[in-house]
Chains A and B, each alone.
Chain A
């Protein structure tokens, strides 16, 4: 159970999230088409909350496995891997086949392959905690570049139409959410987040490092793979909904660690999820409504996250 100071943070963040959701839903509404606009806004709101919470919680989980505050799933190439899977799928079934596949079914298959690959790749890389951090970062960056170049290469040998299909899923956009996947994606993300909450005490033990965790009787290897599987699913969901998001997770996880009274996951996970959702909902409300720039949020969030990354590196806060 989170302690009191953390409860206050959780309550405050929940209040702010409700408030910005209300503004998002009802600001400037009137006249005809009310129900149409409300449905549209509600869909987008659900998407923003799903994506914000998924990325935030995936990042916190990943940082716990890696015992490191600089690494994130996207820095390690998780979303690039997901995009590569999509490209390979287009390449293997062809563009007409791609369009004809049931989106939910396709999505589930992608998630399954993603979990498998992420477990194989990152399970080996991080199984004993990332001991050599610079090397791990480098490996991740190289993997990301590798995945992206293979995606690029494969899509270029496809015909131009297919290339466009791949391109359209290669950039993050909080303004246009893939609505066809919102329901399955949201449900899956909710399930994963619930699982992470249920594991919070084990995650605390995992964060103590392998020696202490094994001494305390945690099945370390199983826990690492389980956590990476949760991360892989959450990243797949958010990437499928809005596309790849770079430094946003880093920013949110950093803020969550600062806001929580201590690093116990029972408090850290809800706080991170709320901050992630809040930034996207409040940010999108401001940019879309007040500034009429629905596509700007991702740029600003990425910029802030990138600055935070530099700050962490320069402060030498690698651990």
Chain B
């Protein structure tokens, strides 16, 4: 369980996060949603001790972030950042191998090597494993970083926009893998997701943020409603249901599609 009590965070005089109290249950896939600048990354970075705690308290599995040594924390919680690049020239297998570092501190054992190969397989990186990162496409790099985070094998994984750069097939495969991992091993994942339907389809728990505050949290069906999402993103959306899960339609494109199917758009629009 991750528990956050009365967290405030500011940069200079500007409040970035206000009044955040949150408990994230174990064994769940939590989607963190909200518009650009809502404070999602900042919250994740605070949970991963990447920013200094200014006030409030965060505990992960009962470990207080303020007092737990960072190397012990690294065996409990892993984070993957929103922007992933490395200045040094490394092969994919080497990068994924660093995921095991908290467990061996530079002296990998057979079990570590197996975990690395498993992570490489899981993200379809076998064909690129011997290649340098700067010889890969954006999505392949993203998968390499995801594999590194998976190899770290922690009870908690915080993923900041893990779907960045991924094509539809890989994005779905990732969400399915995360859901599977949570179900099979009781591990917990918090992922920042912009494409609301991925949250709707796979997340157990949704936390919505805006202007540095939490505006809603709960089961996906409870949070992903028309009113809430329209308010959250300041743009009209429609929510219908599909297989018992919410299906979010962006209002504009939806009406456009409806108009198209009714043949109501002018020819010019239909051609384009």
Contacts and interface: CB of A to CB of B under 8 A. Distances in A.
A225 to B, nearest CB: 15
Interface string B129-148: 00010000000000000001
A209 B79 CA distance: 13
Interface stretch (A101-109, A257-265, A304-312): A257-265
Contacts of A69: 87
B86 A216 contact: no
Chain B interface size range: 20 to 34
A71 to B, nearest CB: 11
A60 to B, nearest CB: 11
Interface of A: 64, 67-69, 200-202, 204-205, 207-212, 214-219, 257, 262-264, 319
Nearest to B99: A216
Given A211-B45, A216-B99, A262-B132, 16 more contacts: A201-B106, A208-B88, A208-B95, A209-B87, A211-B50, A212-B98, A212-B148, A214-B48, A214-B79, A215-B50, A217-B72, A217-B74, A218-B71, A257-B89, A263-B89, A264-B90
A256 to B, nearest CB: 12
Interface string B39-58: 00000010011100000000
Given A262-B94, A263-B90, A216 B106 contact: no
A264 B91 CA distance: 10
Nearest to B76: A217
B101 A217 contact: yes
A216 B98 contact: yes
Contacts of B74: 215-217
24 contacts: A64-B88, A68-B87, A69-B87, A201-B101, A201-B106, A202-B106, A204-B98, A207-B87, A211-B81, A212-B81, A212-B86, A214-B70, A215-B50, A216-B74, A216-B98, A216-B101, A216-B152, A217-B70, A217-B73, A217-B75, A219-B71, A262-B89, A263-B88, A263-B90
B163 interface: no
A134 B15 CA distance: 30
A269 to B, nearest CB: 13
A215 B78 contact: yes
Nearest to B83: A211
A243 B49 CA distance: 42
A301 B105 CA distance: 38
Contacts of B79: 211, 214-215
B70 A207 contact: no
B86 A215 contact: no
B80 to A, nearest CB: 8
B70 A208 contact: no
Given A205-B98, A205-B101, A262-B132, A214 B91 contact: no
